[in-house]
Amino acid sequence: MTSDTDFWIQAGQLFPGHGAPPLADQQIQISNGKIAAIEPASRRALSTPPRYVEIIAPGFIDIQINGAGGVLFNDQPDLAALKTISAAARLGGTCHILPTFITAAGQSYKQAMQAVTDAAGLAEILGLHLEGPFLSPERPGIHDARFIRPIEAADIEGLCRFDGRLLLTLAPEHTDTKTIKRLAEAGIILFAGHSAASLEEMAEAAVNGLSGVTHLFNACSQIAARAPGIVGAALTNPRLFAGIIADGHHVHDANLQLAVSQMENRLCLVTDTMPSYRATSTDFMLAGQKITLKDGRLTSEADQLAGAHLGMDEAVRNIIQRTSARPEQALDMASAIPAKILGLEDEYGKIDIGRPASLTCLDRDFHCCGVYVHGTPYRGGSPA
């Protein structure tokens, strides 16, 4: 939905994006859903005082979100679910999402593809993330191992025909080079995840179109003395981006710092959020397992991590508090870098005249207090 109104908002600090430091006391004019002007607040006296916000940043983009607001996308892959999930995500400052459908039986992922096709008119939905089923049986994580399988010709044809933006997480060691190259040439964004790939297998896949790693440090091969694995590949290969879950449970602070220091402009924040986020219930079912929220941590009855429970604003706060990342860097990890991964860097991730007015509003402690999605203001997840 796009706003046709013309109005101004004022920022105590405006973070323009792309690593630029904040500008103090700026006014932003929004017209027809786009940014029409940016100027110091002292330059123009407005007849109606603009809404004041402590911090305005480029709109957050979450490329890995499984559910929110009591809805799991795998259980309800339809337009109604996407609206519920995106509304809940807005409460954490996220303007745009890639709803994530994880490993399931056969080609049931096609339901998720249809749901995203049906959501073509929603500015919040930028595409689809399929996390599986073409993963490694050695690294299933919480995914249902019964449905993990190699990619087949029918899958390849269907995925390449999908008329939308698609991020596909797969295991490179179980996918031949020809297939990786064909998927990449079809415009599919390929990430390695739930994989035991070696450094060499990652390097070969990257040459042929693999561009990133899903939830770095989790469900993937780690660094060993003579086998750097997926983590080593992500830290050292400039071709590769990576998403990371900064919730204080999935990745040790020392590893967060390692990734931040080694992956400048290649590391993005993801929430990996589940239905419990912004919902009344603290438990839900996932692939036949009961998942319970306790002390901010989602686990199965076997105490296995099962997604995360956080908004993007919390991820931003955590990466600032737990690493050396400056606020402008952390905000880029939530906006400019995911936009670049998706090939949308000319639209999102930077506050500039002529771009869509997708903005995240924060208080001085980086808690979300509202968002604008293509000029439409939202507070409390609903249009303001």
Buried b (16+ CB within 10 A) or exposed e, 7-36: bbbbbbbbbbbbeeebeeebbbbbbebbbb
What's residue 2's pLDDT? 39
Same domain, 228 and 269: yes
The structure's pTM equals 0.96
Domain assignment present for residue 50? The answer is yes
Q: Which CATH number goes with the domain that contains 15?
A: 2.30.40.10
Task: Give the CA diameter of the chain.
Answer: 67
- Is 283 among the residues known to form the active site? no
Which structural domain, as residue segments, surrounds residue 328? Answer: 60-341
Is 308 part of a structural domain of the chain?
A: yes
Q: What is the CATH number of the domain that holds 265?
A: 3.20.20.140
- Count of residues for the chain? 384
Q: Are residues 53 and 85 in the same domain?
A: no
Is there a single domain that holds both residue 22 and residue 121? no
User: 205 and 248 share a domain?
Assistant: yes
Q: Answer yes or no: do 368 and 331 share one domain.
A: no
Question: Which residue's structure tokens are 């001085």?
Answer: 364
Cα atoms in the 13 Å half-sphere on the side-chain side of 137: 5
Q: Give the number of other CB atoms < 10 A from CB of residue 137.
A: 14
How many other C-beta atoms are found inside a 10 Å radius of the C-beta of residue 382?
A: 10
Mark whether 86 and 206 lie in a shared domain.
yes
Same domain for 145 and 275, yes or no, is: yes
Flag whether 102 is in a domain.
Answer: yes
Catalytic residue among 144, 272, 313, 332: 272
8 A C-beta contact, residue 85 and residue 69 = yes
In a shared domain, residues 359 and 247:
no
From first to last of the 384 residues of the chain, give the pLDDT tens digit. 334 579 999 999 999 999 999 999 999 999 999 999 999 998 877 777 889 999 999 999 999 999 999 999 999 999 999 999 999 999 999 999 999 999 999 999 999 999 999 999 999 999 999 999 999 999 999 999 999 999 999 999 999 999 999 999 999 999 999 999 999 999 999 999 999 999 999 999 999 999 999 999 999 999 999 999 999 999 999 999 999 999 999 999 999 999 999 999 999 999 999 999 999 999 999 988 999 999 999 999 999 999 999 999 999 999 999 999 999 999 999 999 999 999 999 999 999 999 999 999 999 999 999 999 999 999 876 677
Residue 1 lies in a domain: no
What are the pLDDT digits (tens) for 272-323? 999 999 999 999 999 889 999 999 999 999 999 999 999 999 999 999 999 9
Together in a domain, 254 and 150: yes
Instruction: Flag whether 234 is in a domain.
Output: yes
- Considering the domain architecture, whether residues 137 and 51 belong to the same structural domain is answered as no
* Per-residue pLDDT at 383: 74
183 and 96 fall within a common domain: yes
Q: Which of 148, 156, 149, 158 is nearest to 183 (CA)?
A: 156
Q: Is residue 28 part of a domain?
A: yes
Q: Give the C-alpha separation, 347 to 225, whole Å.
A: 42
Asked if 256 and 326 sit in the same domain, the reply is: yes
Name the domain count of the chain. Answer: 2
Structure confidence at residue 317 (pLDDT): 98
Compute CA 334 distance to the chain's CA centroid, rounded to the nearest angstrom.
Answer: 7
Q: What does DSSP say about strands 210-213 and 189-192: parallel, antiparallel, or unpaired? A: parallel
- Establish if 197 belongs to a structural domain: yes
